[in-house]
């Protein structure tokens, strides 16, 4: 049976609309997780439109749901010191009853970083920060004290208490397609790799999966420990049967988790209709 998730970008929507989608998904066992995203400006449409903050909404949505696993796909490493991210992750995992999925990424959206004067850096700098930050977060979530010396981060006898409810830590989800560094980071730390939108790029995705498996062999990791997810874009007024057919094709290609990514504001009724159609084909 296919695994499904929902994703509600925090742009061009309202709190009530997001809440309706998440509560509806929480009531449908077919959906195993729900996600928002981590941006301050809309990434599509009117870039001067509204965009709610990721961690505030995620915390509130965790409290408004009971069963579904929750996460942000994905947190930009350049937005927060990894010690801050680790502390927030521990706390949210506790208050959600151990339901957090910790999404991490290098960051990419220059419009918002330029506007705020944030140093996004070159591709190499972004990846180095990402690698260092992921290791720091992992260590702070799993170790009593952490020492770390890197280009971007330095920790000395650092601690993060209390630890998260999940042992040894919440699953890490990494999004991206970088063959040499991102996929190697997936092999080292991630429980799920999100390859973004692969619906029309099956051959490319299969090639990248082979590269991931090679990295797993290099670091001594069983590839079966890593799920592969991909977004399935949901437009306004979707045809549930069409969505179900597209999801089936993605599962046939080898995707483990299909994430229904809502491109526009939706409500719980849309989720219920899609859930019924997806259940009929699984």
pLDDT of residue 199: 78
Cβ distance 40 to 116 under 8 Å?
yes
For domain 3-281, give its CATH number from 3.90.1150.10, 3.20.20.30, 2.30.29.30, 3.30.565.10.
Answer: 3.20.20.30
**Mean pLDDT (the chain, rounded):** 95
The whole-angstrom separation of Cα 171 and Cα 248 is: 26
pLDDT at 67 over 90: yes
pLDDT of residue 281: 75
The whole-angstrom separation of Cα 29 and Cα 178 is: 33
The whole-angstrom separation of Cα 85 and Cα 104 is: 10
Q: Where are the domains of the chain?
A: 3-281
pTM: 0.96
């Amino acid at each position: 049976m296919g695994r499904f998730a929902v994703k509600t970008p925090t742009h061009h929507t309202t709190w009530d609309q997001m809440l309706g989608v998440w509560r509806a998904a929480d009531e449908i066992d077919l959906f195993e997780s729900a996600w928002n995203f981590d941006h301050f400006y809309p990434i599509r449409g009117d870039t001067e439109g509204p965009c709610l903050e990721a961690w505030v909404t995620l915390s509130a949505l965790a409290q408004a749901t009971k069963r579904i696993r929750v996460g942000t796909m994905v947190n930009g490493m350049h937005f927060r010191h990894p010690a801050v991210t680790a502390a927030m992750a521990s706390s949210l995992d506790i208050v959600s009853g151990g339901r957090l999925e910790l999404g991490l990424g290098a960051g990419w959206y220059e419009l918002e970083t330029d506007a705020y004067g944030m140093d996004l850096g070159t591709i190499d700098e972004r990846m180095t920060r990402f690698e260092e930050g992921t290791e720091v977060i992992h260590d702070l979530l799993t170790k009593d004290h952490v020492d770390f010396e890197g280009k971007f981060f330095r920790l000395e006898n650092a601690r993060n208490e209390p630890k998260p409810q999940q042992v040894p830590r919440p699953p890490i989800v990494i999004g991206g397609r970088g063959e040499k560094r991102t996929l190697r980071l997936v092999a080292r730390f991630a429980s799920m790799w999100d390859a973004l939108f692969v619906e029309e790029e099956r051959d490319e995705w299969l090639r990248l999966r082979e590269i991931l498996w090679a990295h797993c062999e290099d670091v001594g990791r069983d590839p079966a420990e890593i799920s592969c997810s991909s977004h399935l874009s949901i437009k306004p007024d979707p045809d549930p049967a069409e969505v179900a057919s597209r999801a089936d094709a993605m599962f046939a290609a080898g995707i483990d988790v299909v994430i229904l990514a809502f491109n526009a504001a939706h409500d719980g009724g849309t989720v219920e209709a899609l859930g019924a159609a997806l259940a009929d084909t699984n």
